[in-house]
Structure 1
Amino acid sequence: MWNLPHGPLHADMYAYTMALAHFRKGDHDTPTTYHAFVRKNPFGGSYTLVAGIHDFLRWLRDFRFTDYRTDYLASLKTMKGNRLFDDAFLKMVAETPLSLTIDALPEGELTFPNVPFARVSGPQWQCLIVEATLLNLINAQSLVATEASRCVHAAEGTPVIDGSLRRSMDVGGYASARAAYIGGFSGTSNVAVARALGLPARGTFAHAYVTFHKEEETAFRNYAETMDDVVMLLDTYDTLTAARLATRICKEIGKPLLGVRLDSGDLGWLSLEVRRILDEAGFRDTYVMASNDLNPRTIASLRAQQKAGEAAIDRWMVGTDIGAPHEGGALGGVYKLAEVAGRPVIKVAERGVSAADTKTTIPGPYGVVRMLRDKDGRERIAGDTLLSLDTLGRVTGWGGTDKLTGPDNGRFQLTSDLVSVNLADPERPTKFRTGQLCYVPHRRMMTRGDIVYEMPSLDEIQAFARTGLDRLDPAHRRLDQPHIYVAGLDEGLYEMRRRMIRDIHLSHQ
């Protein structure tokens, strides 16, 4: 796994200063609940694919204030030169066991704006300390997993391989390679991650192998003679000449040419010409791989060319766009307080350019029920509704996340009608009627500091993600102007939020 050796020191400084202020006032152990969620989906898309929660749980296993960690905190000074953290505070954090309870979306599940990918409950000071690592791990991997799923969707069943290590923004490329596999990639060029996670390791050779030799023919011949799997990079000097050379050498030494890779130029036209050369030489089973700054849109464009008979690409290697997705920037997952000692709380932001364009939160601990419907003989997800945990239990017969099992926590039928209000368009609510098929996507991950979730294998997570993505209506998966998937608020939760906003505004006039 990603190595985070410093345990609870992986935190923002404000978490510790707030924890200290709470401790000195004696309310640091107050029970609180936080929600982690995205305000908007990345890449202008309609969904976010969740990844990273398992690494967060593994990090929590090392949530211990060892001597060197508390010694470092003890060494910190205020601007006046005084010790920032006193012995009483350090003794408290060192001797208090972790007691958080966490419900979260399993890796490979889909999330949408305001739908919590994690709900964290426990003592206020501990909820504060875990925020940064939770967001760091899940934001990074969910962003990459989402982009990978878009690449796979654009590739329409042809394999996509991760080649992001050299461009990855995380040290070692662990998060990029792992999340790309969850998103549907078929292998990685990252040898260390392939070993650590049991992923297929994939790679050919680079231009340096050709330029090392005095002539391209010598390079190709040496490689073909020494390797079982012969895959040639063709574009070091002249792509079509190299294609003819590769086929001739493989014929002469009696070895199959497994594949060729194109890394520059007009990939569509070159692939078609290379395919013709391969076929004429009898290498009809040789695959053609494309690389060179690919992303979902370039892959989709090349696939469109292929359907028109203007390209012939069988595989894809995506590097920069997975290591540092430029269109998405960063996933803006946030972590907001929802309840203090049973009292719902809300953050009210300044008004944005529209009624829905604010950072105002949703008060109280809430969950989500995900609706299912049959469309054209296929099961689709048909909208989410956020609702208080009490209401969730009432309308589904749901007994709590710690009672649920199975890939979708089982199916339910609504036991009463449910009205869902879209915050962006509250005047047109959606009514889900009694008997509507649905499920609850959250799982219990940790109970009072003990990890209770049995983490599936990476292959199982990838399969689970594929199933969830297949449930999305194709309109939600469009690369350009996708149809928006709505996560509305149950009318009771909507009214409570509206009243709290109104009361706060009135009290501050």
Structure 2
Amino acid sequence: GAGYLEQGNADDTATFDLYFRHNPFRGGYAVAAGLEDAIHSVMSLRFSNEDIAFLKLLRGASGSRLFSEAFLQCLSEFRFQGNIRAIPEGTVVFPNEPLVQVTGRLIECQMVETILLCHINFQTLVATKAARLWEASGHGTVVEFGLRRAQGPDGAMRACRGAYIGGADGTSNVLGCATFGVPARGTHAHSWVQSFTTELEAFRAYARTFPDDCVLLVDTYDVLKSGLPNAIQVAKELEQRGHRLAGIRIDSGDLAFLSQRAREMLDRAGLDYVKIIVSNELDEFIIADIADQGGKIDIWGVGTNLVTAGGEGGCALGGVYKMVEHNGKPKIKLSSNPEKMTNPGIKKVWRFYDDQGYMEADALAQASEDVSHPGILIIDPNNPLRRKKLNSSRRVELLTDIVMGGKIVYEFPPLDLVRTRRKEQLAHLHESHRRLRNAHVYKVGLTRALWQQKEQMLNQVTV
């Protein structure tokens, strides 16, 4: 920003695209999330007197002030006045298509880069992880248990939000419940059991405290010989008082085997309504394996691998923010690696659906281009020999106006509606793209006009 102001081009116009290059977790898709937080952060960006005073203290290598008085004055008056278009949260998205498109003065577009990337990269990553967990569970119940393992308090809160969008049905984070309306879920700790003389005494005390929301952790000593028999006894005592045991939780051991035995013991005791909850370093692959082994599990508590988005291909989304237009002229970034070349100009993103209602392909088109006619040809920018003609009449534009002229013009839906959108989106994504391993690559291509523009620019650029 300081450089633009110094060189006199701060008021140039520009457009930037925010996108990612690879699907996380080596999967077939991602779930867009973090937009509402990102937009509110952009629109509330201000530099206080204290901020300016601190920046005045910064010195360069020569010892002189790092920032000029003119730039500090610019910061003190900063308000985002540009336009932002984006793909709504809960939408299934793919590599190389802009999730967010920012247009405005060059200096303000650059100033909001890190804010947008920080929010959208992380929450999209966590939402995608949650969606994969939800898919692995057979669309079962997943609860986010990760507060203690998150990268700090703010990371825990953003992970709670992203997980809820992506497929988690509840959280152990009570502040997340208060802030985002995510249902609160949880159980007692092993220390609760250890603090009493006997496990049975601990269970009875917990049942007295929470008679209608009692979930007993049964693996402090021995699941089958101690925990479950004591839980069954307490469940019967609750029934006599007009209540029901909500569930039992297993946090260690062979979860497939133990859940099977637990279900048998509970059912024999007439407690078929008691839910079985498991936890212990779960991820989507472990959940799928337990399900394949016949595990009798109702609720999956996932902590570390959800809030940290752990696993192969996880940990960071790798979203980037690249200039695509400057002063009304399309711009391109070159690279010896084709996937790192940018797609020039302001674009629209159109999604096509096949006759069965499944997503068929996404087309990146020039902003002024007419794609309403049949026979739209798309070209893979990384391999121009891969082409596909799209004839479906069922198509929808993904980018929508969020901020216009520095004003929010989009009504952000409640998170429950965002979750509904995610469910609907995944229902229209073929299983071959949703599978955990060896997912098929979804087709995202440039229209012929956009590809020709890119090719022309590649031929004209001189280094």
For the aligned pair, the TM-score class normalised by the smaller chain equals: over 0.9
Other-structure match for 2:37? 55
2-structure distance, mates of 1:304, 1:288: 17
Other-structure match for 1:410? none
Aligned partner of 2:398: which letter?
P
1:348-384 deviation line (CA, Å, top 9, x unaligned) = 1123xxxx4x311111111211001232xxx211100
Q: CA deviation at 1:170?
A: 4.1
Aligned pairs (5 A) from 1:160-171 = 160-171=142-153
Q: CA deviation at 1:97?
A: 3.5
1:443 to 394, 400, 418: 400
Aligned partner of 2:441: which letter?
I
1:246 aligns with 2:204: no
Aligned pairs (5 A) from 1:334-349 = 334-349=320-335
2:360 to 372, 378, 382: 382
2:109 to 115, 119, 127: 127
Q: CA deviation at 1:108?
A: 0.5
| Corresponding residue pairs, total | 455
Aligned pairs (5 A) from 1:257-406 = 257-306=245-294, 311-327=295-311, 328-351=314-337, 356=338, 358-375=339-356, 379-391=357-369, 394-395=370-371
Other-structure match for 2:209? 226
Alpha carbon RMSD of aligned pairs, Å?
Answer: 1.4
1:236 aligns with 2:186: no
Q: CA deviation at 1:495?
A: 1.9
Moved more, 64-73 or 202-211: 64-73
Q: 1:170–1:176: 8 Å Cα contact kept in structure 2?
A: no
Moved more, 83-92 or 422-431: 422-431
1:148 aligns with 2:148: no
Q: Could you say what secondary structure the match of 2:354 adopts?
A: strand
Aligned partner of 2:197: which letter?
K
1:30 aligns with 2:12: yes
Aligned partner of 1:194: which letter?
C
Q: 1:168–1:322: 8 Å Cα contact kept in structure 2?
A: no
Q: Could you say what secondary structure the match of 1:419 adopts?
A: strand
1:87-146 deviation line (CA, Å, top 9, x unaligned) = 122222323532110000111112111110000010111111110110000000000000
2-structure distance, mates of 1:219, 1:158: 30
2-structure distance, mates of 1:139, 1:178: 13
1:470 to 395, 408, 427: 427
Give percent identity, aligned residues only.
36
1-structure distance, mates of 2:409, 2:174: 31
1-structure distance, mates of 2:455, 2:318: 24
Moved more, 195-204 or 491-500: 491-500
Aligned partner of 1:323: which letter?
V
2-structure distance, mates of 1:276, 1:380: 40
1:17-36 deviation line (CA, Å, top 9, x unaligned) = xx112111211110000000
Q: 2:43–2:79: 8 Å Cα contact kept in structure 1?
A: no
Q: CA deviation at 1:321?
A: 0.9
1:427 aligns with 2:385: yes
Q: Could you say what secondary structure the match of 2:159 adopts?
A: helix
Aligned pairs (5 A) from 1:95-106 = 95-106=77-88
1-structure distance, mates of 2:151, 2:75: 32
Moved more, 154-163 or 455-464: 154-163
Other-structure match for 1:406? none
Q: CA deviation at 1:416?
A: 4.8
Q: CA deviation at 1:61?
A: 2.9
Shift of the 263–87 alpha-carbon distance from structure 1 to 2, 3 Å rule, reads same
2-structure distance, mates of 1:325, 1:415: 41
1:500 to 433, 438, 457: 457
Other-structure match for 1:6? none
Shift of the 212–386 alpha-carbon distance from structure 1 to 2, 3 Å rule, reads same
2-structure distance, mates of 1:252, 1:107: 46
1:415 aligns with 2:400: no
2-structure distance, mates of 1:428, 1:54: 36
1-structure distance, mates of 2:422, 2:8: 44
2-structure distance, mates of 1:84, 1:388: 40
2-structure distance, mates of 1:47, 1:159: 21
Aligned partner of 1:370: which letter?
R
Other-structure match for 2:441? 484
User: Which residues of structure 2 form unaligned runs of 5+?
Assistant: none
1:216 aligns with 2:174: no
Q: CA deviation at 1:213?
A: 1.4
Q: CA deviation at 1:471?
A: 0.7
Moved more, 449-458 or 215-224: 215-224
Q: Could you say what secondary structure the match of 1:160 adopts?
A: strand
2-structure distance, mates of 1:423, 1:148: 30
1-structure distance, mates of 2:282, 2:121: 22
2-structure distance, mates of 1:449, 1:312: 52
Aligned partner of 1:447: which letter?
M
TM-score (norm 2): 0.95
Aligned partner of 2:11: which letter?
D
Aligned partner of 1:495: which letter?
Q
Q: CA deviation at 1:165?
A: 0.4
Q: Could you say what secondary structure the match of 1:23 adopts?
A: helix
Q: Could you say what secondary structure the match of 1:369 adopts?
A: strand
2-structure distance, mates of 1:454, 1:59: 16
User: Which residues of structure 1 form unaligned runs of 5+?
Assistant: 1-18, 396-413
Aligned partner of 1:27: which letter?
N
